[in-house]
Amino acid sequence: MNELQKVELLEVESTEEFERYSFQITDMNSLNWVFRKLAALSAKEKDVKQLADTERERINDWENRELISICSDKNYFESLVSAYHAKQLEENPKAKTLSTPFGKSKSRASKPQPNPVDKDKLLQHVKATGMTEFIKEEVKWGDLKKVLHIHEADGQPVVIDESGTIVEGVEVEPSSLSFKVEV
């Protein structure tokens, strides 16, 4: 905003309210006067928006820096809770939930289960063994998974079908234990 626009704004600010509402454009001079005021107000608006954008950027940067620190601290404390809960589960396998007035730690165990890694090989296996009831446009994984079993062959877990054939394109996902912290 230049100096002339600042003078125009001072004139707008010093104009009494009743003068504002009674003013009318009657000729080219009064039209020009209004355009000067509008130009000054537009320049002021631009300055305000520019300043606000700059401050928003600074605030967003500050927020991101603060949240990174907070997230790091939360991850640290949640890892402490998970480690403690794992020890409690070793001592008492029924301690699936630990609860205090300020939060809970819940454990959830999953069993080993078949996991398709190569859908093309899996589809070939299902076709070759005549298990076509599990074929849609691709393998009906949810249904097929129910009839698959995990066994050991050569010291490694493998997935076999109902006929005892090793299923290609599927590997064993190991069992896992996860923790969920609620506050």
Residue 10 belongs to some domain of the structure: yes
Q: Are residues 124 and 83 in the same domain?
A: no
Residue 123 belongs to some domain of the structure: yes
Q: What is the dihedral of CA 131, 133, 139, 140, to 10 degrees?
A: -130
Q: For residue 18, what pLDDT is reported?
A: 64
Residue 11 belongs to some domain of the structure: yes
Residue 102 belongs to some domain of the structure: no
Residue 9 belongs to some domain of the structure: yes
Q: Are residues 89 and 2 in the same domain?
A: yes
Domain stops at, among 36, 69, 95: 95
Domain stops at, among 45, 69, 95: 95
Asked whether the beta carbons of 1 and 47 are under 8 A apart, the reply is: yes
Residue 86 belongs to some domain of the structure: yes
What distances in angstroms separate CA 141 from CA 123, 148, 152, one per listed residue? 10, 10, 22
Q: For residue 128, what pLDDT is reported?
A: 93
Q: For residue 161, what pLDDT is reported?
A: 92
Q: What is the pLDDT of residues 79-92, one digit of tens each?
A: 999 999 999 999 99
Q: What is the pLDDT of residues 55-84, one digit of tens each?
A: 999 999 999 999 999 999 999 999 999 999
Among residues 108, 114, 109, the alpha carbon closest in space to that of 126 is found at: 114
| CA atoms of 102 and 177, how far apart (whole Å) | 23
User: How many CB atoms within 10 Å of residue 115?
Assistant: 13
| CA atoms of 88 and 82, how far apart (whole Å) | 10
Per-position pLDDT tens, the chain of length 183: 788 887 887 887 777 766 767 788 999 999 998 899 899 999 999 999 999 999 999 999 999 999 999 999 999 999 999 999 999 999 999 999 999 999 999 999 899 999 999 989 999 999 999 998 898 777 889 999 999 999 988 888 999 999 989 999 999 998 888 888 776
Q: Are residues 8 and 90 in the same domain?
A: yes
Q: Are residues 3 and 59 in the same domain?
A: yes
Reported as half-sphere exposure (CB side, CA atoms, 13 A), residue 144 has a value of 27
Q: For residue 16, what pLDDT is reported?
A: 72
- Say what percent of the chain tops pLDDT 90: 65
Q: Are residues 90 and 159 in the same domain?
A: no
Q: Is the pTM of this model over 0.85?
A: no
Determine the structural domain holding residue 163 and report its residue range.
109-182
Domain stops at, among 95, 117, 152: 95
Q: How many domains does the chain have?
A: 2
Q: Are residues 85 and 118 in the same domain?
A: no
Q: For residue 4, what pLDDT is reported?
A: 82
